[in-house]
Amino acid sequence: METRDSAASSNAPAPAAPPRAVTLAPAATTVPDTSALPQSGVSQPTGGHGYGVTAEFYDLFHSRAYTDRARRYLAHAASGARRGILEVGAGTGLVTVVLGGAAAVPVHAVEPALPMRTVLLSRLATADPGLRERVVVHATTLQVAGLEAVADLAVCVNVAACLPPVQRRALWRAVAAGLLPGGWLLVDPFPRRPEVEVVRTLPAVRLGSDVYTCRTRTTPGPGDRMDMEFTYRVVRAGARLREERESFPMWSLGREQLLAELAEAGLYGEDGCGAAGPLRPADPGARGAGFGRGPLAVHRCTAAAAPTAGTTGAPHTTDTIGGAATA
């Protein structure tokens, strides 16, 4: 899905993007930036979509910070949804429960990776009955799910940077198809590709007498590609019990390139489309990369309202989403 230097707090912007360049210095009591790990949609061995290693540790390292950010940046917009919410790359369900808790409409949680989806379903199994009645889990990619006009809000965080360009463009088209005319897509900015290898350590987590750690290694690849390796260790009484690794390819994408791709799929900034109704972003002031600083909001235009060829409309990055718009 669903990234963002040394001593960063959970509210600080991450270095580079969605499941991206991680940061944060070790601190046993601090939960790392959730953007540190990818959410889903990457082609890997397990179930065709990876996360065979990552799913075990994901919530342990990211639940608190990821939930806090979802409440801060997404809950307000979710509360304004009137028809449905489309969540691309639901992962373990951390954002799903926030979206569903803030809204009173169906939530379409799309998660193709079996290991992540297993945690998602376990989370929903003990969720509030009212939420369980409204969440529909789609065990495939959005492109395959073929959802059409099911939502007036789509959320795509910690996902798109995991997809190669061709699949990414297909994703935008699938999102546009899933949105009702006038609906909004919230998507986080992409990570920057580092020029040299970057290694970071996330804050350690203690469970009983065991200490869990995670180290990330981001290596630049050809073109816009980078590779991110996660190394998890479990230590007891100073001795390493086990070590697990998993790697994910990711792609960088500049703001203007992202807006151009979104526009090709019929998704534009507000000024390119006119009024957008109750889900218009309230504050375009928070600038910065990563879900830790607020997602980009774009609007699905009707054919009549779409900007002329070559324009993308004015994008908005939002600190708070929902409410009255500001120019």
State the Cα–Cα distance between residues 292 and 276, nearest whole angstrom: 25
Report residue 17 as tokens. Answer: 């993007």
Q: What is residue 78's predicted lDDT score, i.e. its pLDDT? A: 95
- Residue, of 4 and 185, whose pLDDT is higher: 185
The number of beta carbons lying within 10 Å of the beta carbon of residue 297 is 27
Report residue 295 as tokens. Answer: 């997602």
Q: What is the pLDDT of residues 231-252, one digit of tens each?
A: 999 999 999 999 999 999 999 9
**Domain 66-191+253-317: CATH superfamily, name plus number:** Vaccinia Virus protein VP39 (3.40.50.150)
> Does 281 score more than 80 pLDDT?
no
> Does 8 score more than 70 pLDDT?
no
> Which single residue is written with the structure tokens 């799929």?
265
The gap from C-alpha 250 to its chain's centroid, in whole angstroms, comes to 13
> Does 36 score more than 60 pLDDT?
no
Q: What is residue 235's predicted lDDT score, i.e. its pLDDT? A: 98
Q: What is residue 218's predicted lDDT score, i.e. its pLDDT? A: 97
Confidence class for position 129, pLDDT limits 50, 70, 90: very high
Distances (CA, A) of 298 to 113, 182, 286, 313, 326: 26, 10, 15, 9, 14
The number of beta carbons lying within 10 Å of the beta carbon of residue 203 is 19
Residues, the chain, total? 327
State the Cα–Cα distance between residues 308 and 272, nearest whole angstrom: 9
- How high does pLDDT run on average in the chain? 77
Report residue 255 as tokens. Answer: 């703001």
Mean pLDDT of 35-42: 36
The number of beta carbons lying within 10 Å of the beta carbon of residue 302 is 12
Read off the DSSP letter of residue 234: E
> Does 216 score more than 50 pLDDT?
yes
pTM above 0.85, yes or no: no
Mean pLDDT of 279-284: 38
Mean pLDDT of 96-124: 97
Confidence class for position 270, pLDDT limits 50, 70, 90: low
Q: What is residue 232's predicted lDDT score, i.e. its pLDDT? A: 98
Contact 199, 217 (CB under 8 A): yes
Confidence class for position 39, pLDDT limits 50, 70, 90: very low
* Three-state secondary structure readout of 20-83: CCCCCCCCCCCCCCHHHCCCCCCCCCHHHCCCCCHHHHHHHHHHHHHHHHHHHHCHHHHHCCCC
> Does 125 score more than 90 pLDDT?
yes
> Does 283 score more than 70 pLDDT?
no
Mean pLDDT of 272-276: 38
Nearest Cα to Cα of residue 278 among 108, 78, 69, 107 = 78
> Does 170 score more than 90 pLDDT?
yes
Q: Where are the beta strands (DSSP E) in the chain?
A: 85-88, 107-110, 135-138, 151-156, 179-187, 198-201, 205-207, 210-220, 225-236, 239-251, 267-268, 296-300, 316-317
Nearest Cα to Cα of residue 157 among 119, 198, 190 = 190
The gap from C-alpha 31 to its chain's centroid, in whole angstroms, comes to 17
Q: What is residue 300's predicted lDDT score, i.e. its pLDDT? A: 74
Mean pLDDT of 70-99: 95
Contact 212, 32 (CB under 8 A): no
Cα torsion 284, 285, 289, 290 to 10°: value is -70
Contact 115, 241 (CB under 8 A): no
- Residue, of 299 and 194, whose pLDDT is higher: 194
Q: What share of the chain has pLDDT > 90, as a percent?
A: 62
The number of beta carbons lying within 10 Å of the beta carbon of residue 114 is 16
Q: What is residue 296's predicted lDDT score, i.e. its pLDDT? A: 77
Q: What is residue 308's predicted lDDT score, i.e. its pLDDT? A: 44
Q: What is the pLDDT of residues 50-84, one digit of tens each?
A: 899 999 999 999 999 889 989 998 999 999 999 99
- Residue, of 23 and 99, whose pLDDT is higher: 99
Q: What is residue 292's predicted lDDT score, i.e. its pLDDT? A: 47
Confidence class for position 188, pLDDT limits 50, 70, 90: confident
Confidence class for position 195, pLDDT limits 50, 70, 90: very high
